[in-house]
Structure 1
Amino acid sequence: MILLVDIGNTRIKWTIAEGGILSEQDAVSHELRPGLNTNLDQLAMLDQHWAEFETPERVVIANGLTAVPVRHIESWVKQHWLCPPTYLTTSKAELGVVNAYDRHQDLGIDRWMNLLASHHLVGGAACIIDCGTAVTVDAIKANGTHLGGCILPGVTTMRNALNQMGAITIEHPGQNALSSVNRSTKSGVYCGTLYAVTKAIDAIIVDMKKELGGDARCIITGGDAELIRPLLQIHAHHEKDWVFQGMLISVNQ
């Protein structure tokens, strides 16, 4: 049993791997919220989820940007299971995938895990769309060469930025399709932010496929994938655990 932990910008997500099979994901937020004074208060919620787990053989962590949750998770794991966690890092090359970045360590670990999963599970050129706090789109050739990618704000990040400029609330306009002619600020923000993300993704994928020199499979993952995918013009296959698949491939090498 391996506990795989993905620490993102706002959430700590985990799954259990046994015999190469991943369990359903679970998650807690590590953002500060009213009534919770410190990150430690929030991470105490892990007791509710992890205390009844059998002691894992390994605890493997992919840490995005946040230092504080890592310290508390490491302390919790050592106290309860007496095993120091293993931390995955981005490298210049791993398992046939070659990082496009000049400074390989600057590529986010979640993007690196997505690339590993795509190279080993798709079997051809791929474009990987990860929709979370930020939206990342990466291109990888069939031979494992990462061409690079794009980063843009996620839907919630855009809405939060607008909300900081004034008391703006969000309202679903009530139709399935996006509307460009909204009749309230609430629905205008709802649709406008979705337009910004989905149209950007569509345009990026068109150009990426040209860079890849032909057809490529599109994978979409991340917390907002189910919201974004039906609104795209391009076809994308939803893989909810792509980062964890990449982590499993990395630890099993």
Structure 2
Amino acid sequence: MILEIDMGNTRLKWRILNQRLVLAQGAMGIEAPLDLLLDRIESYRTALSSVTVVSVVGDLLEQKLADWSIEYLKLQPVFVRSGAICGPVRNGYSEPQMLGVDRWLGIVAAYRVSAGACIVVSCGTAITLDLVAQDGKHLGGFIAPGLNLMLDSLTSRTRQIKLDGVIPELGLSPAVATSGAVYSACGAMLTGLIDNGMKQLHRLDQNTGFQMIFTGGDAARLLSFYPQALVVPDLVLDGLACVLDYPQRLE
């Protein structure tokens, strides 16, 4: 059994994989005590053979996780980094290691799902959008503030903008109330980014067919604009399976 861990900016996602079967999975705050994770995986602990990790949080939290894994699981975790190539997928960066590893794994997994050209949209703390050509070449991407960062920047940097407590469904139409105006603007900005990505993929790959793949906590908020998109919640963890070449469930 394998314990897979995705250390993101705000959340730590995990799952236990046995061959192609996900036995357990969950999420917690990235700063939460790792004892919480230990409690949730206790029944599988002695059966674990490896711990694989994708991380964007830096050395301090990575070392904390490594120490925890060695002490409590008796396993040295493997931290996956971005590479130049994985099967047919080729990293578009001139310095491949500089591409965020979460983006790299998402690209690898998305190409495995689509078996062709695709747009990969990760809707988390940041919004990232990556373009992949029909032959698997990464054509580059975009990074922008995520929805909550957009909202936080307005409420923290202005004096008069106050928002409702619950984020409604995003729209595009002009609004006659402050909250609605903000949420519609966010919708317009996000769809503008994605529409530009679609335009650029057509230009760069000269291919009319591609799959849109969404992942991340806010992915569902964009589905009303792009109902053709496929939502893959564990895209980064699926990419771990591809890169490490152990039995996976993307076939």
Partner of 2:179: 186
Counterparts of 1:125 and 1:131, CA distance in 2: 20
Say whether the 8 Å CA contact 1:170–1:190 is kept in structure 2: no
Say whether the 8 Å CA contact 1:171–1:187 is kept in structure 2: no
Partner of 1:35: none
AA paired with 2:28?
V
AA paired with 1:65?
V
Deviations 1:37-76 (A, max 9, x none): xx4x644433442344333111000011333322221121
Deviation at 1:172, TM superposition (A): 7.5
Distance change >3 Å, CA 49–CA 117, structure 1 → 2: same
Q: Calculate the TM-score normalised by the size of structure 2.
A: 0.87
Which of 191, 204, 221 pairs up with 2:197?
A: 204
AA paired with 2:220?
E
Deviation at 1:197, TM superposition (A): 1.2
Counterparts of 1:44 and 1:61, CA distance in 2: 17
Q: Calculate the TM-score normalised by the size of structure 1.
A: 0.86
AA paired with 2:214?
I
Counterparts of 1:130 and 1:123, CA distance in 2: 19
Structure 1's unaligned 5+ residue stretches are 31-38
Counterparts of 1:231 and 1:3, CA distance in 2: 35
AA paired with 2:187?
L
Distance change >3 Å, CA 138–CA 73, structure 1 → 2: same
Deviation at 1:169, TM superposition (A): 4.2
Deviation at 1:179, TM superposition (A): 4.9
Partner of 1:162: 154
Q: What does residue range 103-142 of structure 1 map to in structure 2 within 5 Å?
A: 103-142=95-134
Say whether the 8 Å CA contact 1:100–1:146 is kept in structure 2: yes
AA paired with 1:159?
L
Which of 184, 188, 202 pairs up with 1:195?
A: 188
Which of 45, 64, 69 pairs up with 2:61?
A: 69
Partner of 1:241: 234
Distance change >3 Å, CA 173–CA 12, structure 1 → 2: closer
Partner of 2:214: 220
Distance change >3 Å, CA 175–CA 16, structure 1 → 2: closer
Partner of 2:11: 11
Counterparts of 2:6 and 2:49, CA distance in 1: 17
AA paired with 2:68?
W
Counterparts of 2:232 and 2:167, CA distance in 1: 27
AA paired with 1:224?
D
Partner of 1:33: none
Partner of 2:249: none
Identity of counterpart residues, as a percentage?
27
User: What CA RMSD, in Å, does the superposition of the two structures yield over aligned residues?
Assistant: 2.3
Deviations 1:194-237 (A, max 9, x none): 221122212222222332211111111111111122233x7311
Partner of 1:20: 20
Which of 125, 141, 144 pairs up with 1:149?
A: 141
Counterparts of 2:148 and 2:214, CA distance in 1: 17
Counterparts of 1:120 and 1:177, CA distance in 2: 30
